[in-house]
Amino acid sequence: MDFSHHLEISYYKTIATLNEKHNIFLVQHQENQKICVKKILDVYNVAIYEYLKSHNITGIPSIIDFYEENNQLIILEEYVSGDSLQDIISASGLSLDAIQSYMCELCDILGRLHTLNPPMVHRDIKPSNIIITPYNHVMLIDFNAAKYLTHREASDTVLLGTQGYAAPEQYGFGSSTPQTDIYALGILLKELVCALPESTDKYDSIIQKCTQINPADRFKDVAELKSALINLGKRLMPNPSESEHGLKALIPPGYRTHKFWKMCIATPSYLFILWMAFTLKIEDTFGLALWIQRFLFLAMMLCVVFVCFNYRNIQKDIPICQSKYRLLRYLGILLLNACIIFALFIFMLLIEIFVKVL
């Protein structure tokens, strides 16, 4: 590593330890205050990180920089806020809709890797390596076990991955391929389904096909697996217990996670919005017309809150709101809010004109 490169890396100072056992730290640039994650790896494939650094792949944190030193790879990686899928499982925060959404997004992310030339295989898919962002999107992390698919290797010689999620070929019974990741997706899907408040066997056929011993008997690619998930999702009819769980999705922002500090902020905020709406006064507007205007104003304020906090995944159909770039996401949210406010404002104006004409 040349001197200028070393100097640039030295600007990042450790501010917290995220995982001491695995040498993962939170660091901050001393000049621009940018926060990122620093990882020190003993086992790695430099070619993987070279590609990830030079190519931004949606659903994967950007690699800011890396260097080798004393037979270790030191990585500076984009910090992704959110909860790990393992934490969500532990908090019993899953629903069938969430499982369907997370699995399909994982298929999309892996599809981008598997269609590279040569294909890239992650080989360590598990709940702790999956981050769910505040916008309810999936981010796949930890590529220290990843490798490129080569047809020269008859079998994997070293187990890289996590026991329980690793496919048979990772134990030396063959060479890792995209079907290796499909096996891990099957194990992950099984764990997610088992974490539901009420057990279900609706995904058993997909899980069984993913986890076949012979890779050729699994789904041929993640696109086929995603198609199977979507087709099954269309056929699923929630039973009463699942409907009750689905009602939790209607809980407004601030109360969904049941965290006390969030509820302490949300409660006075909603009360303030209600107070503003029901004390609203408009010149020359009285009676029923005034109350209609007040309810429209209330709807406007609540829409702003719901859009900002992605209530009921309201941002999912707006491409700019799903951008991996934070500034573009914020711009999309502002534009969506502006459109909603403009529409409701015009509606309020039309009602006021209609009342005056009468």
How many structural domains does the chain have? 3
For residue 240, what pLDDT is reported? 45
Please tell me whether residues 230 and 314 are part of one structural domain.
no
Please tell me whether residues 34 and 120 are part of one structural domain.
no
Residue 261: domain span: 251-357
- Among 78, 99, 128, where does a domain finish? 78
Dihedral sign for Cα atoms in the order 131, 137, 141, 145: positive
- Among 247, 270, 302, where does a domain finish? 247
Please tell me whether residues 155 and 180 are part of one structural domain.
yes
Helices (H), the chain: 3-10, 46-54, 85-90, 96-114, 178-194, 204-210, 222-235, 240-247, 260-278, 287-308, 326-357
Q: How far apart are CA 60 and CA 58, in angstroms?
A: 6
Q: How far apart are CA 194 and CA 327, in angstroms?
A: 37
Look up the CATH number of the domain holding residue 151. Answer: 1.10.510.10
Please tell me whether residues 213 and 95 are part of one structural domain.
yes
- Among 60, 78, 96, where does a domain finish? 78
Look up the CATH number of the domain holding residue 62. Answer: 3.30.200.20
Please tell me whether residues 238 and 104 are part of one structural domain.
yes
Please tell me whether residues 230 and 257 are part of one structural domain.
no
Please tell me whether residues 112 and 144 are part of one structural domain.
yes
Please tell me whether residues 237 and 97 are part of one structural domain.
yes
Q: What is the DSSP code (8-state) at residue 252?
A: P
Q: How confident is the prediction along the chain (358 residues), in pLDDT tens digits per residue? A: 555 666 677 788 999 999 898 899 999 988 888 899 999 999 899 999 999 999 999 999 999 999 888 889 999 999 998 999 999 998 888 888 899 999 999 999 999 999 999 999 999 999 999 999 988 899 999 999 999 987 655 455 455 667 778 888 877 767 889 999 999 999 999 999 999 887 788 999 999 999 999 999 999 999 999 999 999 988 775 554 444 455 666 788 888 777 788 889 999 999 999 999 999 888 777 888 888 888 988 988 998 898 888 887 777 667 777 665 668 778 888 888 888 889 888 888 887 777 667 6
Q: How far apart are CA 349 and CA 256, in angstroms?
A: 34
Please tell me whether residues 300 and 212 are part of one structural domain.
no
Question: How confident is the model over 12-65, as pLDDT tens digits?
Answer: 899 999 989 889 999 998 888 889 999 999 989 999 999 999 999 999 999 999
Please tell me whether residues 106 and 174 are part of one structural domain.
yes
Please tell me whether residues 18 and 143 are part of one structural domain.
no
Global pTM value: 0.66
What is the Cβ-side half-sphere exposure of residue 49, based on CA atoms within 13 angstroms?
24
Please tell me whether residues 70 and 112 are part of one structural domain.
no
For residue 358, what pLDDT is reported? 64
Q: Is 147 exposed, middle or buried (0-12, 13-18, 19+ CB in 10 A)?
A: buried
